[in-house]
Amino acid sequence: MQLSDLLGADAVKVFAHVTSKKRLFQDLADIAEAAYGLNASDTLDALQERESLGPTGVGHGVALPHARLHGLNRVVGVFVRLEKPLDFDAVDRQPVDLVFALFAPKDSGVEHLKALALVSRTMRNPEICIKLRANSAPSALHAVLTEAVGTQAA
């Protein structure tokens, strides 16, 4: 599994200003609907339900929201870079500006975990995060993510 298997070029966006976590989740759901045909309302509900279990802000300005959904046949992702960091209740209490959301089939087992591990490993790489923060073009962000060295899951 590689990030290029999970992340479509049309699922990468840059937002100048997002006012709340709920608004961010709505934006992620809208992108997932446009890029992968997911139902935005169901996706939003699933993201909020997962987030209610505990914040998905993993620290260093990175959030990895994720949800399982009916009607999906593979794991897919959405990446958003926020020009203005958002308070996300992250573990280190730092605002978030890099958001990689994953959506997996409701009954997916190990594939969902492999994808989450792959994204987590990638987003923990300081060099990749620096490149992501230095670019504003969605195509450049997609290239940084999908061409990153070591972005393969076991």
CATH number, domain containing residue 93: 3.40.930.10
Residue 7 lies in a domain: yes
The residues assigned a catalytic role are 66
38 domain-assigned: yes
Segment 63-92 mean pLDDT: 91
User: What per-residue confidence (pLDDT) applies to 63?
Assistant: 94
Structure confidence at residue 104 (pLDDT): 92
Q: Does residue 152 belong to any structural domain of this protein? A: no
User: Does residue 153 fall inside a structural domain?
Assistant: no
- Domain range for 113 is 3-146
Token pair 């939003």 is at which residue? Answer: 44
Residue 90 lies inside a defined structural domain of this protein: yes
**39 has pLDDT over 50:** yes
Domain contains 154: no
Q: With respect to residue 66, please indicate whether it lies within any of the assigned structural domains.
A: yes
C-alpha of 123 from chain center: 10
Spatial separation of the C-alpha atoms in residues 73 and 92, rounded to whole Å: 34
> Smallest Cα–Cα separation from 43: which of 57, 62, 56, 30?
30
pLDDT tens string 6-15: 999 999 999 9
Cα–Cα separations (whole angstroms), residue 63 to 26, 72, 108, 118, 123: 15, 22, 21, 14, 9
Report if residue 21 sits inside a domain: yes
The total number of structural domains in the chain stands at 1
Q: Cβ contacts of residue 115 below 8 Å, gap of 6+?
A: 1, 6, 75, 77, 102, 104, 153
> What is the pLDDT, as a whole number, of residue 147?
87
The CA distance from 51 to 14, in Å, is 22
